[in-house]
């Protein structure tokens, strides 16, 4: 793996939640994600999955880090550890808005905006035009073309999650983070929505980290548990899409 192929790398990165004595500590000894790669993080409730995702998403500050680099395009490496040391929250927020997409368990759509405006929000904030046709491609692929004028409360949960996926990808981020994105769906629907998500990130060469407590779902997607577990201290497992 050459440096240019690595979109995200962490070494010796730690985050404590709650007190030192009876709180929770997440420790990532080493984690590197290649461009276009998809990984899943699995583990039981409370094992630190959301904590890890929030660290990767530049939402949660590490207590210490020996290395935390985001490389959204080849040759454009960003030293995230240093930005956290400097408490440069504006720079972190700008990087998050441009290079990261986040799908939450329950969508997190803005209730007062129709689906299409939710989807376009990050593009509009970044001043991206419609020239690349990506919004149309996404809404077509996700089967939500006829729902675009509806507000989130008029959509089913499955429809909301598909809108949330389109929203997280529409600005073509380097990194997509999804925290239990299908936990509110029935199992059959969950596999279908996850497969759509995987197909889109593969096509667009977006690096994706999908969190799930549901190992059956992760294996149904063809993700395989990796031997070396870079996240230590807690029963978190990392799976990579192979082949």
SS (HEC) of the chain:
CCHHHEEEEEEEEEEEECCCCCCEEEEEEEEEEECCCEEEEECCCCCCHHHHHHHHCCCCCCCEEEEEEECCCCCCCEEHHHHHHCCCHHHHHHHHHHHEEEECCCCCCCCCCCHHHHHHHHHHHHCCCCCCCHHHHHHHHCCCHHHCCCCHHHCCHHHHHHHHHHHHHCCCCCEEEEECCCCCCCHHHHHHHHHHHHHHHHHHCCEEEEEECCHHHHHHCCEEECCCCCEECCCCEEEEECC
Number of chain positions touching ligand ADP (CB under 6 A): 11
Smallest separation, CB 101 to Mg ion (Å): 18
Q: Which residue is nearest to Mg ion (CB)?
A: 50
Binding residue for ligand ADP (CB under 6 A) from 9, 42, 51, 65? 51
The binder of 24, among Mg ion, ligand ADP, none, by C-beta within 5 to 8 A per type, is: ligand ADP
Instruction: Kindly state whether residue 49 participates in binding ligand ADP, applying the rule CB under 6 A.
Output: yes
The binder of 18, among ligand ADP, Mg ion, none, by C-beta within 5 to 8 A per type, is: ligand ADP
The binder of 101, among Mg ion, ligand ADP, none, by C-beta within 5 to 8 A per type, is: none
Instruction: Kindly state whether residue 50 participates in binding Mg ion, applying the rule CB under 5 A.
Output: yes
Instruction: Kindly state whether residue 51 participates in binding Mg ion, applying the rule CB under 5 A.
Output: no
Instruction: Kindly state whether residue 45 participates in binding ligand ADP, applying the rule CB under 6 A.
Output: yes
Smaller CB separation from ligand ADP, 15 or 172? 15
Binding residue for ligand ADP (CB under 6 A) from 9, 47, 65, 122? 47
Contact positions toward Mg ion, by CB under 5 A?
A: 49-50
Contact positions toward ligand ADP, by CB under 6 A?
A: 17-18, 24, 43, 45-51
């Amino acid at each position: 793996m050459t440096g240019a192929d690595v979109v995200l790398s962490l070494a010796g990165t730690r985050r404590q939640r709650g007190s030192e004595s009876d709180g929770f500590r997440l420790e990532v000894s080493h984690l590197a994600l290649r461009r276009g790669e998809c990984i899943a993080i699995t583990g039981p409730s409370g094992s630190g999955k959301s904590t890890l995702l929030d660290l990767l998403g530049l939402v949660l500050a590490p207590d210490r880090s020996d290395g935390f680099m985001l490389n959204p395009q080849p040759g454009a490496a960003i030293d995230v550890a240093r930005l956290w040391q400097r408490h440069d929250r504006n720079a972190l927020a700008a990087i998050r808005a441009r290079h990261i997409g986040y799908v939450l368990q329950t969508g997190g759509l803005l209730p007062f905006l129709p689906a299409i405006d939710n989807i376009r929000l990050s593009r509009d904030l970044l001043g991206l035009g419609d020239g690349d046709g990506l919004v149309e491609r996404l809404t077509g692929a996700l089967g939500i073309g006829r729902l675009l004028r509806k507000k989130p409360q008029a959509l089913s949960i499955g429809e909301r999650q598909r809108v949330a996926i389109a929203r997280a990808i529409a600005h073509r981020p380097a990194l997509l983070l999804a925290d239990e994105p299908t936990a509110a769906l029935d199992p059959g629907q969950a596999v279908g929505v996850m497969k759509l998500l995987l197909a889109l990130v593969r096509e667009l060469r977006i690096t994706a980290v999908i969190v799930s407590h549901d190992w059956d779902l992760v294996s149904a997607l063809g993700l395989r548990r990796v031997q070396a577990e870079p996240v230590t201290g807690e029963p978190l497992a990392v799976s990579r899409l192979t082949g």
